[in-house]
Structure 1
Amino acid sequence: MRILHVLDHSLPLHSGYSFRTRALIEEQKRLGWEPILLTSPRHSLDGPNPETAGGLTFHRSPASGPMPLLGEIRATGKAAARLIDRFDPDLVHCHSPVLTFLGARGAARRRNLPIVYEIRAFWEDAAVGNGTGREGDFKFRMTKAMETQACRDADAVGAICQGLLDDLESRGIEPSKMFAVPNAVDLAQFGAPEAADPELAASLGLAGKEVIGFLGSFYDYEGLDDLIAALPSILTERPEARLLLVGGGPREQELKAQAARLGVMDHVVFTGRVPQEEVARYYALVDILAYPRKPMRLTELVTPLKPLEAMAQEKLVVASDVGGHKELIEDGVTGTLFRAGDPSAAAEAITGLLASRDSWPERIHTAKKWVAENRTWERTVANYIPVYEHLVNR
């Protein structure tokens, strides 16, 4: 089976979106399928066309010109039409945001090809989450309407979690055309955690400390300000605690200023962004991975990838009780949940775990077992099989 995948962006840009794409496509190739990969003009990194990155070949849509949205749709559509003519795929699979679907839809319909639309997050909610939009304004409503119409027009609609599927059903999307393709973990990459590097720990001032960590992008919705606000209370109970923040993003300078203002800067380590191949070394330094996401539509509806990676890395997980986390974490069994947006609740959850080390081995074992049994890319990609076969054979 040959599938044309239409993507927002891809490797060599590093993002959760890119890493999910790589995992999905590698698993599809193991099934004997032939994926053809096209990115929209929103892939902003210069490079050859086509470009090989991470062992995969990506075709690029040309720059979109002076009319951003309409130009992107047209450029994606022209590139999709060329690849459809060249490779003769069995179906077209578009990955959110909706511009990929709007671009490829015409080319797919002209060849009578079935089209799948897969949602990783609603575009309107993502804009609110990263600070480029406001919930309920005209842009939000327009984008939501576009996403809803795309789901009505698609032959099948996938989503990464139940929260998104439930929201789509409330919009009137027929449940029979929807299916789940949840986030997962590559246990070959994350399932064998490295031993802590004492030299790296010493260089960061973490030797002999109790390390609470976060690895990811510093967006407002991640709630890292709540984690820093919890630190004075944590230090009162656990003076050897340290907060390790690996990554970067738009809130980085504000977070540093907050830590300085609270007088805890000596207890917080900002590493900046690290190469992907180095991430496991930093995971190895952490006792507890914290995910204090704020309550909002994006976090209530969408399940993140990072807690699954942490469980696979045999790390304890503490997270806010937003809906996306509750799909992944069973409180007191595979992780600890605390009231979202409440630094004091975060502090209580973290100090409670640090004070009960005897419970750690069983919880770590239970969480990793759950991931291995439920959240591998092999299991996720298997969900495509009946959908693809039905569409191609209809």
Structure 2
Amino acid sequence: MRVVVTIEARFDRTPDGAIWARTGQDHQFWSGYLTAFDEVRVVARVRDAAEPAAEAKRVDGPGVEVWPVPYYLGPYRYLAQRPAIGRAVRDCAGPQDAVILRAPSPIGTILATARDRRRLPYAMEVVGDPYDLFAPGVVDHPLRPVLRRLYVDRLRRQCRRAAGAAYVTDRFLQSRYPTSAGAVSVAVSDVDLTPAAYVDTARTIGRTGSVAPTRQPATLISVGSLEQRYKGIDTLIAALASLTADGRAVRLVHVGDGRHRAELADLARRYGVADRVVFTGALPGGDAVRRQLDAADLFVMPSRTEGLPRALIEAMARALPAIGSPVGGIPELLPPGFLVPPDDPGRWAGAVAALLDRPELMAAASARNLARARDFSAEVLTVRRTGYYQAVAEATAERAGGRAGEHTGGRAGGRPDGPSRATQRSYA
């Protein structure tokens, strides 16, 4: 059986027809679906490029093909190309295909609507939360409140109608976007770390970043795209200025790039801490990012919205103490004493200072984070993920295999009568 997966990713296609990703959704990522399916078709935005970017990795390959959707960036270009996007998405999957929608996603919504109309099943992978994505301060758009309500309602409806849903969080996304009674519900992160991602032991930590001028500066590190403002790096820069004004020897390293980098660099200059902020730009991942994490003292994530952040889990796997904001799945990774509300530089500065002054707390956090990160090893998650894919395949075979056109039950608008017996399982 083939599985068709929609994703809000943007790929490049070189003249030889190869498809390339600049982020982690490469061929190895998509090959994970082959544990339960014979073929994988990835439905995503594709644009032509003369050559792959330096950090890009190949997407298509054995068992994996890409179904291109017209390339767009932002709501206005999406609306301008909506007819062509709709045609491409509606044609991507046949009645016998299993369908998994990585949500939230406009592309996934088009396919969900088409499947509902034909009374064909689909499943979900919920990897983000539109309620937080469209929160104040995250997205600047005059229709932000309307878009927030629209996307939240859509995702809730899709999860209720789906044969099953996999969530990247243990509890958070499940509570906001539940499945219907009896449908498959799986907590399985898409962050699965290889053995190389882990250090062997927790850190032994001495006093760092104190007011004494002889101390080496403590290095705070943050990781994430700067395409949007939701990572809260502006909050970190303001907190760094407060720490510096108090005589703290502290610096910030940010790994990642995007269109807001220049304005954040300007913000650091205006706060007088430009010499204490380093923007590394985008790094190829793996060892390059791990070297930055290993050289740091404290991982900081003041995000305004998150799903289950890979960057935080990777930092924890390096036994880094960490502070995060209480959004998305972050509270499932860090205890309450290490959570600070976003958009509050004063509280962030206080939390960083208090932790750097307590080496025993830093050492305990290092050990705790390393132990928690082991829950995200590939060995642990592959079994759970494969079980979900197999359940999706079984539900598709039962509900779409030769019976889709015969089905007459269900609600008006094309919703089937609820989950089949094959979907009435749950994977812890």
Taking structure 1 as the reference length, the TM-score comes to 0.77
In 2, Cα distance between equivalents of 1:363 and 1:66: 47
Aligned match of 1:164: 173
Residue 252 of structure 2 is aligned to residue 243 of structure 1: yes
1:289 aligns with 2:293: no
Q: Indicate the residue corresponding to 2:9 in structure 1.
A: 9
Alignment counterpart, residue 347 of structure 2, candidates 342, 345, 353:
345
- Alpha-carbon distance in structure 1 between the residues aligned to 2:328 and 2:7: 26
The residue number in structure 1 matching 2:330 is 325
Deviation at 1:326, TM superposition (A): 0.8
> C-alpha displacement at 1:58, in angstroms?
3.2
Partner of 1:221: helix, strand, or coil? coil
Contact 1:5 1:38 in 2 (8 A): yes
Give the match for residue 14 of structure 2. none
| DSSP-derived class of the 1:360 partner | helix
Query: Aligned ranges for residues 248-327 of structure 1 at < 5 Å?
Result: 248-277=257-286, 278-294=288-304, 298-299=305-306, 302-327=307-332
- Distance apart, 1:323 and its partner CA: 4.5
Aligned-pair identity in percent equals 22
Cα distance, 1:5 vs. partner?
A: 2.2
How many residues align? The count is 358
Query: Is 1:151 aligned to 2:159, yes or no?
Result: yes
Query: In 2 relative to 1, CA 247–342 (structure 1 residues): closer, same or farther, beyond 3 Å?
Result: same
1:211 to 213, 216, 219: 219
Are 2:380 and 1:367 aligned?
A: no
User: What is the correspondence of 1:374-385 to structure 2 with a 5 Å cutoff?
Assistant: 376=378, 377-378=381-382, 380-382=384-386, 384-385=388-389
Q: What root-mean-square deviation, in Å, do the aligned CA atoms of Structure 1 and Structure 2 show?
A: 3.6
SS at match of 1:256: helix
Q: Deviations over 1:159-200 (max 9, x none)?
A: 32222221124xxx524324333343313341148xxxxxxx
Which of 238, 243, 250 pairs up with 1:234?
243
> Which residue identity lines up with residue 369 of structure 1 in the other structure?
A
Query: What's the counterpart of residue 199 of structure 1?
Result: none
Match of 2:182 among 167, 176, 186: 176
How far the C-alpha of 1:230 sits from its partner, in A, is 1.0
| Structure 1 alignment gaps of length 5 or more | 194-206
Work out whether residues 183 and 380 of structure 1, in 8 Å CA contact, stay in contact via their aligned partners in 2: no
2:82 pairs with 60, 69, 72, which one? 69
Q: Distance in 2 between matches of 1:373 and 1:221?
A: 26
The 5 A counterparts of 1:107-118 are 114-118=121-125
| Higher helix residue share | 1
Partners of 1:311 and 1:165 in 2: CA distance: 24
Offset of residue 146 of structure 1:
3.4
Structure 1 residues 329 and 34: CA distance shift in structure 2, 3 A: farther
For residue 248 of structure 1, give the secondary structure of its aligned residue in structure 2: coil
Code of the aligned partner of 1:185: D
Out of 85, 89, 96, the residue aligned to residue 103 of structure 2 is 96
Alpha-carbon distance, 1:383 to partner: 5.2
1:3-152 → structure 2 map (5 Å cutoff): 3-9=3-9, 12-15=20-23, 18=25, 22-23=28-29, 25-29=30-34, 31=35, 33-40=37-44, 42-44=45-47, 46=49, 52-53=58-59, 57-63=64-70, 67-81=80-94, 89=97, 91-105=98-112, 114-123=121-130, 125-126=132-133, 131=139, 133=141, 137-152=145-160
Whole-Å separation in 2 of the counterparts to 1:73 and 1:97: 17
Q: Distance in 2 between matches of 1:186 and 1:226?
A: 29
Q: CA deviation at 1:70?
A: 3.5
Give the gaps of 5 or more residues in structure 2. Answer: 12-19, 52-56, 72-77, 201-214, 399-421, 423-428
Decide whether aligned partners of structure 1 residues 109 and 175 sit closer, same or farther in structure 2, where only a CA change above 3 A counts. closer
SS at match of 2:272: coil
Per-residue CA distance 1:72-94 (angstroms, 9 max, x = gap): 1221222334xx7xxx64x2212
Question: What TM-score do the two structures reach when normalised by structure 2?
Answer: 0.71
Mapped partners of 2:40, 2:296: distance in 1: 39
Separation in structure 1 between the aligned mates of residue 377 and residue 336 of structure 2, nearest angstrom: 18
> How far did 1:96 drift?
2.1
